[in-house]
Amino acid sequence: MPLARSLSVTSLSGLEDWDEEFDLEDAVLFEIAWEVANKVGGIYTVIQTKARLTAEEWGENYFLVGPYVESNVRTQVELIEPTNPVLKRTIDKMNASGCKVYFGRWLIEGSPYVVLIDVAFSAWSLDTWKSELWELCDIGVPWFDREANDAVLFGFLTAWLLGEYAAQSEEPPHIVAHFHEWLAGLGLILCRHRQLPVATIFTTHATLLGRYLCAGNVDFYNKLADFNVDKEAGDRQIYHRYCLERSAAHCAHVFTTVSQITAVEAEYLLMRKPDIITPNGLNVKKFSAVHEFQNLHAQSKHRIQEFVRGHFYGHLDFNLDKCLFLFIAGRYEFSNKGADIFLEALARLNYLLRVNHSDVTVIAFFIMPARTNNFNVETLKGQAVRKQLWDTAQTVKERFGKKLYESLLVGQLPDVQKIIDKEDFTIMKRAIFATQRQCQPPVCTHNMLEDSSDPILNCVRRIGLFNSAADRVKIIFHPEFLSSTSPLLPMDYEEFVRGCHLGVFPSYYEPWGYTPAECTVMGIPSISTNLSGFGCFMEEHIADPSAYGIYILDRRYQGVDESCNQLTSFLFQFCKQSRRQRIIQRNRTERLSELLDWKYLGRYYISARHMALAKAFPDTYMYEPTEPTSTSGFSYPRPASVPPSPALSRHSSPHHSEVEDNDEEERYDEDVEAEKDRKNIRQPIALPFKNKTSPLGANGNGNGDDDEN
C-alpha cells in the first residue's frame, strides 16, 4: 500500500490544496549530515525543524544519518531496535564487520528515526581509507586536520551503509540520499564512484571558500569572477576540504543551495550552477488571537527592563518607557556579521538623537559568544543592588500598609507624616546611597580574556560610546549565549528576542540568516541586507519589505560609508515611531511568518528529491523541467493602510493632532488588512513530476497531462 502523504499547506490562506501524487512505496530517504542530533551550527536547526514535515511525507521510510556523540545521545535520542528489516540486517552486518552503528528515535518534533555511526570506533581504518581516497580522487587529507579526518571516516561509513542497504534489499530499491555540507560530501562521491542505486542530492549551506574569503576582508561579491579558487583555497590550507566540497557538488544528481545569493557564489567557487534553491524554514506556531504575541512581547520586555535597571544603577537617568532595545546575535564574526557597521551606525545615531533633543534612549545588545573567564563583578553587583532596592521597597510597603490598615480600622484618615516614620526614611536613604556609583555602567558584562584585542571593545573605544549620561545610545556586550539559568540575564534566546524592539543583522556574508527569520516569526521587525539569503528572499516575496518591518540594507551596490548612512537612517526613523506605530508594524511583521513556514518552503526540498529520483531512475520516475527553479511563490503587496514610518507618513508636521490620530485609528483595521494580505497570496508553482509506474498522472486525471486551469 502506498505511503500516505500528509502535506498540510491549507493553513496558508490563499493557497489551494496540493494534490500531486508521487508513489513512494518502494523508495527510502536517507538524510545525512554531521549535525544530526549533534548541534554545531545552523544546519542543526534546518534538519531539526524540517524533520516533522519530511517524516509526514515519507513515514517509516525516512532515516537521518549522523555521528554518534554519547553526550548528545543521552539527552536527545531514544535507542531502539530497527523497525525496517532491511535496515536491521544492514546494521547487524556492519556491526559484525567492525563498526558501531546505533539506531533510535530523535526526540524532537516528528520523532524521526536516526542512524548514528561511531566514527571514532572505526578510526583504525583511517589510513586505508585515506589511501583509497587518494587513488580514486587524488585528494590528500593531512594528518593534522582532525575535522577532515572525521569527514573521511564519516564519508566511507555512510557509503558503506547505503551500499549494504542496497545489497540487503530483496528487490532493487529506490534510495534517495540527501547530503548536507562538505563534511558529509565524501559519502556522496563514493556512492557515485561505486555506482550504487542511489539518487543523490548535495546541499551547501555556505561555501567553505566563501566564508574564508569574506573573513579576510576582501571585496568578495565584486571579485567573484576573478578569484583563482585553487590558489585561494591552497593559501588558506583548506584545499583538501575545498576539493571534497567541489567534487560532491559535481557528482550529485541534484545540487542545491539555500539562497539565490549563495547560488551565485557556488556557481563561481564550486563551478556548478545549483539546480534548485531550497530556502530554510521554521515550524511556525500561530496564535489563536493576534494580541497574544503582543502580550508575550510586553512580558519579555519587562524582564529586559529589570536587567537594565540593575545594569545602569546610579545612572538610570532615562525613561525606560521611552527606551528601545536593539540587538545583534550570532557567531562572533566581527565583519561578516556586520557588527562593525552596526557600531558605526550607532555612533551616528547617537549624534542625531542628541542634536534633535530626542527623549528616546536606545540600548543595543551584542549577543556574540567570545572567550571570557567570568562575569564582570560590577555587572553582578548591579543586579544585586537592584534586588536589594526591590526588597527594601517591599519592606517599607508592608510597614506602610500595616499602619494604613490600622488607621482605617479606627475610622481615621491616615497622617502621612506619622505613617512613614524616621526609621522608614532611614531605610530608604540607605537604599538611595547604595545606588551611588563612581564609574560608568560597564559596556561588557563579562571579563574578556583578550580585552585589548577584542574587535567590539576596540571599536567601542574608538567611537567613544561608554554609556555616559549624555549619550542617547547605550551598548551592552554579552559575550555568551543566553540561558534561562544565568544569574545575570536569566532569559533564553527566544524570550529575549520577543522582548526587543528591533533585530539588526547587517551581515556582509550570510548565506541564509536564521536570526532575522526568527525575529519575523516572533513578530519583531529586523534589519537585514541584500547580501543575505533571508534579505533576498524577502525582497523577492514582498513588494515593500520595510512596510512590514523588514528593512533591507544595500551592501552589494554601494560602499561601506553609504551603507552605514542608510543603516543610520533606518535606525533613526525607527526611533521616531510612536508606540502605536510599532504595534501596527509588529502585527504586519508577524503576518509574514507564513512565508517562512516549512509547510510552504518544504516543497522545494520535495522538488529536489523528485528531481533526483527522476535523474537516477528514469525508467520509473519522470521529471519535466520548468522555469524558474528558484523560490517563486506568493508575494505580499504594500499595505493599503497608513505606513508605520514617520518618514513615509502623510503627516507633514512632527506632532500629530488629536484629530489626525483619531483619523489614523479609524483608517487602520488589523482584520481588514490581514484579509487583504491573504487575498494577495499568489499560487505557488506546481511541481512538474509524474510517476511512470502510477496508473494516474500528476493531476490524478488518468491521462498524465497537467491541468492548465
* Residues 76-116 pLDDT 10s: 999 999 999 999 999 999 999 999 999 999 999 999 999 99
The predicted pLDDT at position 389 comes to 86
CA 128/CA 136 separation, integer angstroms: 12
CB 683 within 8 A of CB 691: no
- Report pTM: 0.84
Pull the grid cell for residue 135: 587513488
Question: Over the stretch 170-192, which tens digit does the pLDDT of each residue have?
Answer: 888 899 999 999 999 999 999 99
pLDDT-wise least confident of 6-10, 450-454, 647-651 = 6-10
pLDDT-wise least confident of 80-84, 240-244, 423-427, 511-515 = 423-427
In 3-state terms, what secondary structure has residue 683? Answer: coil
Res. 700: pLDDT tops 90: no
Res. 355: pLDDT tops 50: yes
Length of the chain measured in residues = 709
Question: Over the stretch 481-495, which tens digit does the pLDDT of each residue have?
Answer: 899 999 999 999 999
pLDDT-wise least confident of 134-143, 336-345, 634-643 = 634-643
CA 613/CA 58 separation, integer angstroms: 14
pLDDT-wise least confident of 18-22, 520-524, 533-537 = 18-22
Q: pLDDT class for 475, splitting at 50, 70, 90?
A: very high
CB 530 within 8 A of CB 556: yes
The 3-state secondary structure of 480-499 reads: CCCECCCCCCECCHHHHHHH
Question: Over the stretch 362-381, which tens digit does the pLDDT of each residue have?
Answer: 999 999 999 999 999 999 99
CA 549/CA 583 separation, integer angstroms: 11
CB 150 within 8 A of CB 68: no
Compare 645 and 660 and report the one with higher pLDDT: 645
Res. 219: pLDDT tops 90: no
Q: Which amino acid is at 180?
A: H
Q: How confident is the prediction for the chain on average, in pLDDT? A: 86
Question: Over the stretch 268-319, which tens digit does the pLDDT of each residue have?
Answer: 999 999 999 999 999 888 665 667 888 999 999 999 999 999 999 988 889 9
In 3-state terms, what secondary structure has residue 253? Answer: coil
Q: Which residues contact 62 (CB under 8 A, 6 or more apart)?
A: 28, 29, 31, 54, 55, 112, 113
Residue with cell 548565506: 511
The predicted pLDDT at position 202 comes to 98
Compare 21 and 214 and report the one with higher pLDDT: 214
Indicate if the alpha-carbon torsion angle 155, 157, 162, 164 is positive or negative. Answer: positive
Question: Over the stretch 579-632, which tens digit does the pLDDT of each residue have?
Answer: 999 999 999 999 898 899 998 899 999 999 999 999 999 988 887 755 544 444
Report the DSSP pairing between strands 689-691 and 621-623: antiparallel
- Provide the percentage of residues in the chain whose pLDDT is more than 90: 69
Residue with cell 531502539: 80
B/e letters for 441-458, b = 16+ CB within 10 Å, e = fewer, are bbbbbbebeeeeebbbbe
Pull the grid cell for residue 639: 499595505
CB 506 within 8 A of CB 485: no
Alpha helices in 115-195 (DSSP H): 126-137, 146-168, 181-193
CA 377/CA 447 separation, integer angstroms: 9
Q: Which residues contact 30 (CB under 8 A, 6 or more apart)?
A: 63, 64, 65, 115, 161, 162, 175, 176, 177, 178
Partners of residue 255 on adjacent β-strands: 202
Pull the grid cell for residue 63: 532515516
Q: How far is CA 605 from the centre of its chain?
A: 18
36: alpha, beta or left, given left = phi > 0 and alpha = psi -120 to 50?
beta
Q: Assess whether the previous peptide bond of 628 is cis (omega < 30° from 0).
A: yes
